[in-house]
C-alpha cells in the first residue's frame, strides 16, 4: 500500500460531560437559561445542563471535594456555551477580557471554562465582591474594596480552583479556565439530552 493511500485517522470526537453526574451536590444557577443576565433575555433552552470537558469536570470535582469539608459547595452560573450565544454577547459587550470574540471562540465554547461561586453546605448564598457578570473593576481578583468576608470568600474559591489546576480570569472572580483550553476546538453540542 502506498504511503499516501493509508487512511487518515479521524479526529477524536469530543464528548462533554454533565457535571452533575460527577458532582451530585453541584448547584445549578445557569443564568443564561433565565432572563437574569446582562443580555436581559433567555438564550439557553429550558433543561440546559452544565456540560464540560471530562478534564474540566475532573478538576471541578477536585475543587468541590476540597471545599466540602470547609462547609461550602459549588454553584455554577455558566459552563459550555454555544458559539451562537457568544455572538449575541459580543453584540452587546464587545470588550475582550469580559466577553471573548466569537470569531476566535471562548473557552466556554470549548467546554473548558466555568463561571461559578460558593454556596453554603445547605445551599445558602455566600457573599462575594460583586454579583455575577459585573463588568467593573470591583469584579477583578485584585479588588481590595468590598467587605472582608467577600474578599475572603473570593480567596477560598480561588485557592480551591487553582489547587485543582484551573486558571483564574483576573477580571472576573467567577471565571476559571482549563489550562490550554484556547488550543481546543470550538464545539457545537446540544444542551438537552437527545430525544
Residue 175 assigned to a binding site: yes
Reported pTM:
0.91
Asked if residue 59 has pLDDT above 90, the reply is yes
Q: Does the annotation count 172 as an active-site position?
A: yes
Which segment of 46-55, 68-77, 79-88, 182-191 scores lowest on mean pLDDT? 182-191
The mean of the pLDDT values for the chain is 91
| Cα separation, 176 vs 163, whole angstroms | 12
The pLDDT score that the predictor gives to residue 64 is 98
Average pLDDT for residues 129-151, to the nearest whole number? 96
Q: How confident is the model at residue 13 (pLDDT cuts 50, 70, 90)?
A: low
Q: How confident is the model at residue 11 (pLDDT cuts 50, 70, 90)?
A: very low
Which residue has better confidence, 149 or 12? 149
Residue 108 assigned to a binding site: yes
List, in order of start, the domains of the chain with CATH numbers: 15-183 (3.30.1380.10)
Which tens digits make up the pLDDT trace of 85-127? 999 999 999 988 889 999 999 999 999 999 999 999 999 999 9
Residue 141 assigned to a binding site: no
Amino acid at each position: 500500500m502506498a504511503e499516501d493511500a493509508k487512511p487518515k485517522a479521524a479526529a477524536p470526537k469530543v464528548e462533554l460531560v454533565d457535571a452533575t453526574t460527577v458532582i451530585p451536590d453541584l448547584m445549578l444557577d445557569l443564568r443564561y437559561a433565565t432572563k437574569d443576565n446582562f443580555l436581559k433575555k433567555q438564550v439557553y433552552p429550558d433543561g440546559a445542563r452544565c456540560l464540560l470537558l471530562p478534564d474540566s469536570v475532573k478538576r471541578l470535582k477536585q475543587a468541590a471535594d476540597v471545599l466540602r469539608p470547609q462547609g461550602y459547595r459549588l454553584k455554577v452560573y455558566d459552563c459550555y456555551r454555544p458559539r451562537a450565544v457568544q455572538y449575541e454577547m459580543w453584540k452587546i459587550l464587545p470588550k475582550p477580557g469580559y466577553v471573548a470574540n466569537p470569531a476566535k471562540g471562548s473557552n466556554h465554547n470549548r467546554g473548558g471554562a466555568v463561571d461559578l461561586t460558593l454556596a453554603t453546605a445547605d445551599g445558602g448564598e455566600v457573599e462575594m465582591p460583586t454579583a455575577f457578570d459585573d463588568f467593573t473593576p470591583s469584579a477583578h481578583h485584585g479588588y481590595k474594596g468590598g467587605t472582608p468576608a467577600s474578599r475572603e470568600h473570593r480567596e477560598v474559591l480561588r485557592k480551591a480552583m487553582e489547587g485543582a489546576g484551573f486558571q483564574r480570569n483576573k477580571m472576573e472572580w467567577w471565571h476559571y479556565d482549563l489550562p490550554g483550553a484556547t488550543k481546543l476546538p470550538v464545539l457545537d453540542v446540544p444542551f438537552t439530552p437527545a430525544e
